[in-house]
Amino acid sequence: MQTPNVLIVEDEVVTRTTLKSLFEAEGYNVFEAENGDQMHDFFENHAINLVIMDINLPGKNGLILAREVRDRKNVGLIFLTGRDNDVDRI
């Protein structure tokens, strides 16, 4: 079985590197992107199986980027956010 590829899209360096370390320790191939442009570059060059994405990103936010991903790929999405208002809950 091929090792799954995880893409972490997060503009905060500490959060991104912490998540990368956790997933690599479990044996996943992990790629990092700071924004939507970098995310799209990884999709062009790698078979991504799971995206872990911040909602608050520079440029396009994570919800817009998720729609773009879903239009092109069948990939799992997990959202991260520091938002804690009732309106922000799924």
Question: What is the tens place of the pLDDT at every residue in 37-87?
Answer: 999 999 999 999 999 999 989 889 888 998 988 887 789 999 887 655 665
Contact between 19 and 10 under an 8 Å Cβ cutoff? The reply is: yes
pLDDT at 87: 57
CATH topology of domain 5-88: Rossmann fold (3.40.50)
More confident residue, 90 or 6: 6
Tell me the C-alpha distance between 43 and 69, whole Å: 9
pLDDT at 73: 74
Q: Which residues pair with 5 in a beta bridge?
A: 29
Tell me the C-alpha distance between 86 and 44, whole Å: 36
